[in-house]
């Protein structure tokens, strides 16, 4: 099938196109040079055209998402829509059902979304849900930061074994990259404890978070994985944690990237750019993080923007969730995974007149507005931790309009004036910046810029058209229009299929699941597997033969190859 999008105001930052009237030709699911006269024509009529949205960090599938659903029927009751001839029912707001997950992303013009954390042992569950999320392409990052084999190999300083373990773990979990959450803390939470900084020693394993992060960055580059290490820093959720975050970012200097991308992605900075020493003197240090980013090349971040209202916090950071539950007197789910990591789920309601929440709201925006290069700060809400992803249009409008920010600030706790810099920041992002933070940048950070996040020839034909004419719109003044346009795409085209028209789902093809098959020399793998077999024999509660995610759970796989090239022995 051929498709021609004419008269679009195209923003395709990866190809240097910023609002030019450019035609986009699509054939067999790909962007091509030109199409025949028989192509179906979509007249964009001067409206905004961008590559399909790419989300590099969102909790869309797996054990903790489903725990969120099960513990929050009150959330499921929000956002209910009955089935139609085309769509299954929608349910939920912060923890939508699998169908709403795919439909709502598509309705916003997003076509690729990455689940930010899966434990290997529970990866089968993640894939079961991914298999049922319609339309979008997806993948999942795999947790490695507290796994016993990781810590053993870090202690032994055996990077070959660690690389072999990561490669095998990605295969076992059909994962896309290395996620590290509160490194070492997951293991310590096994006995209700936590690490308090980069240099705490994890008992019994005799490694520090610093060792874990650096070692995993090294093997990430040894393996040439598309994405970098994706880090949820230690001390998240504690006042003063920006120092830990900066110190973690500094570690990136120890490793050279194997690709044209960062070596460390520090995620949801809203939760780890906290100044102060307690809840009383709590303040934003997002400016310090932005300052660091402006003076370094190896690190990227995402916002984790806070959205007022209901959210569900969910993370592999088990101890922070216990602390949250205690602090908020909220219901608490915990989900330790043997030998691998922890996790927790706690509902929260962000309130404009709560000083902490108002300050946190400012943090994500400060980070995005004070960091000069939009490639270094992706737009996320750390769905559903900062708030549900359906609020991205609100975030876009806030970033594009100081007027909107000032209107919002008037409704917030006064702490936003004293403890953040946001009231004085006048910068307003343009469509090109937004296209980077939601498309080109996310694709680049993920290492998928060859086929995602741009509209050049050879890219996947994922395109969104929004009902807004960039040359006739002042986003600063007309922020409501911006928000509503991004909420409901005029068209979303996924793999060459029109899946959304005028904000309504028109088709529900299944997307693909991206995973990375990283090779290591056979003998290197075999040496590592001896240890793994021992772990299963003695410690795991299941047998090795039943551990790996089987092919049956990826009916539409997309395999990205990576790995250490074995040296030929003559």
Partner 1 sequence: MSNVITDALCPFCGCMCDDITVVVENNKIIEAKHACKIGAAKIMGHHRIKAPMMRKDKNADFKEVSYDEAINEAARMLANSKRPLMYGWASVLCEVHKKGILLAEELGAIIDNTATVCHGPSTLAVHEKGLPTSTLGQIKNRADVVVFWGSNPVHAHPRHMGRYSVFAKGFFSEKGRRGRKIIVVDVRKTETAGMADEYIQVQQGSDYLVISALRAILAGQAAVVPDTVGGVPKEQLVKLVDTLKAARFGAIFFGMGLTQSMSRYKNIDNAISLTTELNSFGKHVIMPMRGHYNVTGFGQVCAWETGYATAVDFARGAPYYNPGETAANDVLTRKETDAAMIIAGDAGAHFPANSVRHLAKIPVVQIDPYWNPTTEVANVVIPVAICGVEVEGTAYRMDGVSLRYRKMIEPTHPTDLEILEKITKRVIEIRGE
Other Cβ atoms closer than 10 A to 38? 8
85 binds partner 1 (CB under 8 A): no
Q: Which residues of 455-484 are buried (b: 16+ CB within 10 A; e: fewer)?
A: bbeebbbbbbbbbbebeebebeebbeebbb
91 binds partner 1 (CB under 8 A): yes
* Part of the chain binding partner 1 (CB under 8 A), chosen from 221-229, 282-290, 434-442, 539-547: 539-547
CA dist 529 and 527 (Å) reads 6
DSSP state of 467: S
The verdict on whether omega for the bond into residue 384 sits within 30 degrees of 0, i.e. cis, is: yes
CB distance 135 to 103 below 8 Å: yes
Site track for partner 1 across 102-121, x = CB under 8 A: -------------------x
383 binds partner 1 (CB under 8 A): no
Q: Out of 332, 501, 504, 506, point to the residue binding partner 1 (CB under 8 A).
A: 332
Q: Out of 212, 249, 303, 346, point to the residue binding partner 1 (CB under 8 A).
A: 346
Characterise 309 by phi-psi region: left (phi > 0), alpha (psi -120 to 50), beta (else). left
Minimum distance of partner 1 from residue 135's CB (angstroms)? 16
Is the C-alpha dihedral spanning 83, 87, 93, 95 positive or negative?
A: positive
* Part of the chain binding partner 1 (CB under 8 A), chosen from 43-51, 437-445, 542-550, 558-566: 542-550
Q: Which is nearer to partner 1, 80 or 327 (CB)?
A: 80
CA dist 299 and 126 (Å) reads 28
Site track for partner 1 across 202-221, x = CB under 8 A: --x-----------------
Q: Out of 411, 552, 556, 559, point to the residue binding partner 1 (CB under 8 A).
A: 552
Q: Out of 196, 254, 334, 484, point to the residue binding partner 1 (CB under 8 A).
A: 334
- Of the candidates 188, 193, 304, 310, the one whose C-alpha atom is nearest the C-alpha of residue 245 is 304
Separation in Å, CA 546 to CA 139, 445, 522, 559? 22, 33, 22, 22
Q: Which is nearer to partner 1, 51 or 62 (CB)?
A: 62
Q: Please provide the DSSP assignment of 284-323 as one string.
A: E-HHHHHHHHHT-SSEEEE-----SEEEEEEES-HHHHHH
73 binds partner 1 (CB under 8 A): yes
How many residues bind to partner 1 according to rule CB under 8 A?
64
96 binds partner 1 (CB under 8 A): yes
67 binds partner 1 (CB under 8 A): yes
Q: Which is nearer to partner 1, 40 or 542 (CB)?
A: 542
Q: Which residues contribute to the site for partner 1 (CB under 8 A)?
A: 61, 63, 65-67, 69-76, 80-83, 88-92, 95-99, 121-122, 124-125, 128-129, 132, 148, 189-192, 204, 322, 325, 330-339, 345-346, 538-543, 545-546, 550, 552
């Amino acid at each position: 099938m051929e498709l021609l999008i004419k008269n679009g105001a195209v923003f395709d930052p990866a190809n240097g196109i910023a609002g030019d009237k450019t035609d986009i030709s699509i054939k067999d699911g790909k962007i091509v040079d030109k199409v025949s006269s028989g192509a179906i024509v979509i007249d964009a009529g001067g409206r905004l055209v961008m590559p399909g949205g790419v989300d590099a960090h969102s909790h869309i599938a797996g054990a903790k998402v489903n725990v969120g659903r099960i513990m929050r029927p009150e959330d499921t009751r929000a956002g209910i829509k009955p089935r139609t001839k085309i769509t299954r029912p929608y349910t939920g707001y912060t923890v939508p059902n699998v169908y709403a997950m795919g439909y709502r992303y598509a309705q916003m013009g997003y076509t690729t979304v990455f689940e930010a954390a899966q434990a290997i042992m529970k990866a089968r569950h993640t894939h079961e849900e991914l298999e049922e999320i319609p339309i979008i392409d997806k993948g999942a990052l795999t947790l490695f930061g507290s796994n016993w084999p990781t810590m053993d190999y870090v202690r032994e300083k055996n990077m070959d074994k660690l690389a072999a373990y990561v490669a095998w773990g990605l295969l076992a979990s059909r994962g896309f990259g290395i996620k590290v959450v509160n490194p070492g803390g997951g293991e310590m939470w096994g006995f209700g404890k936590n690490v308090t900084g980069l240099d705490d020693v994890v008992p019994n394993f005799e490694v520090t978070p610093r060792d874990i992060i650096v070692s995993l960055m090294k093997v990430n580059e040894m393996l040439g994985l598309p994405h970098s290490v994706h880090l949820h820093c230690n001390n998240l959720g504690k006042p003063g944690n920006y120092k830990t975050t900066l110190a973690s970012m500094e570690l990136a200097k120890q490793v050279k990237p194997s690709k044209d991308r960062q070596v460390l992605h520090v995620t949801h900075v809203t939760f780890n750019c906290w100044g102060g020493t307690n809840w009383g003197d709590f303040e934003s240090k997002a400016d310090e993080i932005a300052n660091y980013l402006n003076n370094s090349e190896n690190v990227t971040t995402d916002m984790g923007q806070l959205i007022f209202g209901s959210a569900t916090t969910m993370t592999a950071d088990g101890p922070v969730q216990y602390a949250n539950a205690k602090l908020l007197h909220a219901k608490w789910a915990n989900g330790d995974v043997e030998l691998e990591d922890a996790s927790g789920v706690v509902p929260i309601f962000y309130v404009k007149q709560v000083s902490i929440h108002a300050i946190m709201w400012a943090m994500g925006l400060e980070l995005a507005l004070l960091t000069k290069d939009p490639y270094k700060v992706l737009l996320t809400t750390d769905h559903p931790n900062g708030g549900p992803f359906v609020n991205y249009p609100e975030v876009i409008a806030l970033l594009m309009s100081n007027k909107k920010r000032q209107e919002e600030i008037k409704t917030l706790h006064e702490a936003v004036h004293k403890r953040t810099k946001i009231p004085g920041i006048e910068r307003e992002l343009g469509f090109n910046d937004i296209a980077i933070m939601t498309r080109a940048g996310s694709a680049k950070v993920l290492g998928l810029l060859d086929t995602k996040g741009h509209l050049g020839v050879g890219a996947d034909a994922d395109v969104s058209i929004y009902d807004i004419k960039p040359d006739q719109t002042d986003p600063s003044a007309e922020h409501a229009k911006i928000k509503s346009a991004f909420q409901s795409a005029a068209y979303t085209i996924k793999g060459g299929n029109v899946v959304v028209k005028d904000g309504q789902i028109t088709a529900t093809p299944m997307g693909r699941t991206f995973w990375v098959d990283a090779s290591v020399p056979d003998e290197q793998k075999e040496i590592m597997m001896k240890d793994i077999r021992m772990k299963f024999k003695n410690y795991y509660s299941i047998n090795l033969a039943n551990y790996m995610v089987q092919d049956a759970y990826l009916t539409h796989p997309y395999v990205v190859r990576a790995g250490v090239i074995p040296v030929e022995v003559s």
